[in-house]
Amino acid sequence: MFTLPLGGQARLRPLEPWQAREFLTHVDRARDTVDPWIPWATLSTDLASATATLQRYADRLAEDAGRIYGIWLDGTLVGGVMFTRFDSESGVCEIGCWLEPAGEGRGLVTRACRALIDWAFRERGMSRVEWWAAAGNARSIAVARRLGMTRDGVLRRRSPYRGVRHDSEVWSVLAEEWPPAGEGPGSGVQAELDRLMAAFVGAFTNTGGRQPDLGVIRDLFIPQGRIIANVGAEPVIYDLDGFIAPRQRMLTDGTLTEFSEWEVTARTEVFGSIAHRFSGYRKSGFHHGAWFEGSGHKTTQFVRTPAGWRMSSLAWDDEPATGAG
């Protein structure tokens, strides 16, 4: 059985019917957050039904029509990713994900999904990878954005759930849009830098009632770290406290709501104990009740410390924000 490292003590490997008991225990922990979005969470309520869920994916694997993988963190199953559909004849497949709270905030799902997409394009020659999400599933949509996908459209009232029909969003990425080999996550250092950036960007998210905690930024940076906004006539340079405090207020006092930001491109270079990342990002939310969308670029410097890799400085420049039309 293969095991793919995802950074730190996280691992990705196949999830098979013989693991049904462990799977069921995990689903019970995750049920409150997963059940509204993943149909098999509703169906996997005891050992027999959990086994049946994994057996269905085993059958799809045998037919080359689907696959399922688990994410283990410190030896505990905390989530997973899957090909819900895989059609090699048409060159189109669909991926999905789930995660219990213990695995959140580490970038695990994003890295696992990148591994699946990379395999689909490079090894299997697929043309298109799709991502379907209920319109209210802000976390799933955020992952699609971080993967650089494009929203193709909304299918209105497509998905029934407990007597209510929900809209479905369709996102996709094409083979020619996927980064070339060597630009994606690879080494353990790369995975650690990915995790730091995912945690930084994710700290601002307040969609779906999520409470942002920008205090985590202090753990990501060295104490002397600097963050620079170069969006006006002159750069504004912040220490960590000066950056965190006003943004924490905006994200919790109603000024900025349903906000999220995500990377769409990234190029990372590592040399010994220093590293640099140049990335493009997008963001969206409501500012004083008005919807906006924006984009820009960041340049981030990292240093390796006795406690591991940390950010040392970050500077960004925004493109002009636009309204929703």
Q: What would the pLDDT profile of 218-231 be if each residue is shown by its tens digit?
A: 989 999 999 999 99
pLDDT band at 324 (very low <50, low <70, confident <90, very high): very low
Q: Lowest-pLDDT range, 152-161, 254-263, 289-298, 302-311?
A: 152-161
Residues whose CB falls within 8 Å of the CB of residue 179, separated by 6 or more in sequence, listed in order = 148, 265
Residues whose CB falls within 8 Å of the CB of residue 96, separated by 6 or more in sequence, listed in order = 38, 81, 82, 84, 131, 132, 140
Tens-place pLDDT, residues 12-45: 999 999 999 999 999 999 888 777 677 667 778 8
**pLDDT number for residue 186:** 41
Distance (Å, whole) CA 209 – CA 225: 30
Percent of the chain with pLDDT over 90: 55
**pLDDT number for residue 322:** 57
Check whether 93 has a pLDDT greater than 70.
Answer: yes
pLDDT band at 202 (very low <50, low <70, confident <90, very high): confident
Over residues 81-96, mean pLDDT: 95
Percent of the chain with pLDDT over 70: 94
pLDDT band at 183 (very low <50, low <70, confident <90, very high): very low
Check whether 185 has a pLDDT greater than 70.
Answer: no
Q: Which residue has the higher pLDDT, 199 or 249?
A: 249
Domains and CATH numbers, the chain: 4-177 (3.40.630.30), 188-323 (3.10.450.50)
Please report the sign of the dihedral spanned by the C-alpha atoms of residue 28, residue 32, residue 38, residue 44: positive
Strands 128-134 and 92-99, bridge-based pairing = parallel
Distance (Å, whole) CA 112 – CA 140: 14
Helix (H) or strand (E) holding 313, with range, is strand 308-318
Check whether 158 has a pLDDT greater than 70.
Answer: yes
* DSSP reduced 3-state for 312: strand
**pLDDT number for residue 168:** 86
pLDDT band at 181 (very low <50, low <70, confident <90, very high): low
- φ, ψ at 286 (rounded to 5°): -110, 125
Check whether 325 has a pLDDT greater than 60.
Answer: no
- The runs of H, that is alpha helices, within the chain are 20-34, 39-43, 47-62, 108-122, 138-146, 188-202, 217-220, 240-252
Structure tokens at 23: 């799977």
- Distance from CA of residue 209 to its chain's centroid? 18
**pLDDT number for residue 184:** 45
